[in-house]
Amino acid sequence: MILAVDQGTTATTCLVVGDDLRPRGRGSRTVPQHFPRPGWVEHDPEELWESVLGAAADALADAGVGAGDLAAIGIANQRETTVVWERATGRPVHRAIVWQDRRTAERCRELPAELLRDRTGLVPDPYFSATKLEWLLSGRDAAGLAFGTVDSWLLWKLTGGHVHATDVSNASRTLLFDLRRLAWDPELLDLFGVPESVLPQVRPSSGVLGEGELLGARVPVAGVAGDQQAALFGQACFRPGQAKVTYGTGSFVLANTGDDPGEQRDGLVQTVAWRLGDAPAAYALEGSIFVTGAALQWLRDGLGLLADARESEGLARSVASTEGVHFVPALAGLGAPHWAPEARGVISGLHRGTRREHLVRAALEAIAFQVCDVLAAMGAGVDVLRADGGGADNGFLLQLQADLAGVPVEAPPERQATALGAAALAGLAVGLWSSPDDVAAARQAGVRYEPNLARDEAERLLSDWHAAVRRALLPG
């Protein structure tokens, strides 16, 4: 059995996964977020670690097994979130700066966009790790410090500080990593003032990285990938053109491009998908949407319009339309395909008859609209979209997504594709499965949503949405 750790933005989920790639037990712990200033988002690294220990203990208890029964641990993590700690003590020097954080937006406007795009496949945006790391190192003596994304931090903790490493998928999200050479780039390190001594070793996504100690047992850590790449793997998108969308705090659309990053596309980024042992790396084209499920959380926690996000489907279905209301949830700027950190959220089309049901439906529609914009930037080639994450439980959203995109949307019975991907990467490394074909064969088919909306109506709805987005992009 494999313990899969999915350390996310608002919660850590752990699954105990059998050799049939089906969960035997699960546990989850919420993760506090800290907002010290507008636009700043932080995590306490020790709270992240404690959430992993708690969720892992719950999952093992749910499965009725002990840590000593595990063949390996696989880790999937929120990407770009940046941690710096002292090598000698393991103490973080600051809270982790979360991928949603916007504090370095001004710095990003000064960066050489063409160089970064050509070298890393990414765009200069506060989303990525390099400017966060630059901020954390500013005014500090870097000697004796270690940097990592959340996977590196968890690997360090699991191995008692013996392993400081990351995998190629996470390294490719830093703005410091050469996408084709699969190595840290000296010119980019110099650009951001990052000494090589703070960086983790870069390893394959599937392969034993070290022996971890978990709940009194020694277990190899054998798989690591950024959460969205892990979900792509867990959805068995192994062939070029196969694509998935994960509906979570944000939403992320990835399409496999094979063993070459392919051509750049406006509004999208190129990323390493995974590397299995010594095999060539697989690449993906990605559109990262910063706020989707987080918009429902804001309606719940900020405005009190929902008691639980699960209410959203029923509320949306209770009205025939939004009656012209649009919600552009640029609560942390806009990501793909706009990459506009200065954008601000807009709710438009309000009138005396507007009720909370219309606002909730507008929030769900905004998720589907944003995914459609990313698919349009990807161009032709995606003929089926595989969905996972918490939003994949929302039938209204998935049917709307199929209608607007004009392609079928499939949702497997197990929505935790990220954790399954981490389990599959670890299981391949220790021989639980012999090849990705075995993983694809074990993947369960689920519900399929076929497009039912006439294209001219879908295009009208998208046109109205784009008009609302233009308002969010207006300066001031």
* Tens-digit pLDDT profile for residues 286-322: 998 988 988 998 899 888 888 888 899 999 999 999 9
Last residue of a domain, one of 172, 192, 227: 227
Distances (CA, A) of 410 to 74, 206, 244, 247, 366: 25, 26, 9, 13, 19
- pTM of the complete model: 0.88
Helix (H, G, I), strand (E, B) or coil at 366: helix
| Res. 476: pLDDT tops 70 | no
Q: Is the confidence at residue 343, as pLDDT, over 90?
A: no
Single out the residue of 237, 221, 222, 240 nearest to residue 439, CA to CA. Answer: 237
- Tally of domains in the chain: 2
For residue 379, pLDDT over 90 is answered with no
- Based on the fold, state whether residues 30 and 149 are members of the same structural domain: yes
Note whether residue 419 is domain-resident.
no
Higher pLDDT, 25 or 415: 25
CA distance 337 to 285: 12
What Rg do the C-alpha atoms of the chain give, in angstroms?
A: 21
Distance between CA atoms of 284 and 180, rounded to whole angstroms?
A: 13
* pLDDT tens, position by position, 37-96: 988 999 999 999 999 999 999 999 999 999 889 999 999 999 999 999 999 999 999 999
Do residues 338 and 202 share a domain?
no
pLDDT for 416 beyond 70: yes
Residue 256 one-letter amino acid? N
DSSP-assigned states of every residue in 48-80: HHHHHHHHHHHHHHHHT--GGG-SEEEEEE-SS
Q: Does 212 share its domain with 299?
A: no
Residues 84 and 172 in one domain: yes
Residue where a domain terminates, one of 179, 210, 227: 227
345 in the same domain as 257: yes
The answer to whether residues 346 and 454 belong to one domain is: yes
Neighbours of 37 (CB within 10 A): 10
Domain of 143, in residue numbers: 2-227
User: Is 420 a domain residue?
Assistant: no
Per-residue pLDDT reduced to its tens digit, 147-205: 999 999 999 999 999 999 999 999 999 999 999 999 999 999 999 999 999 999 999 99
Quick: pLDDT tens for 198-232. Answer: 999 999 999 999 988 888 889 999 999 999 999 99
Domain stop point among 227, 257, 292: 227
Residues 278 and 256 in one domain: yes
For residue 426, with 0-12 CB atoms within 10 Å meaning exposed, 13-18 middle and 19 or more buried, which class applies? buried
Residue holding tokens 């712990």?
A: 29
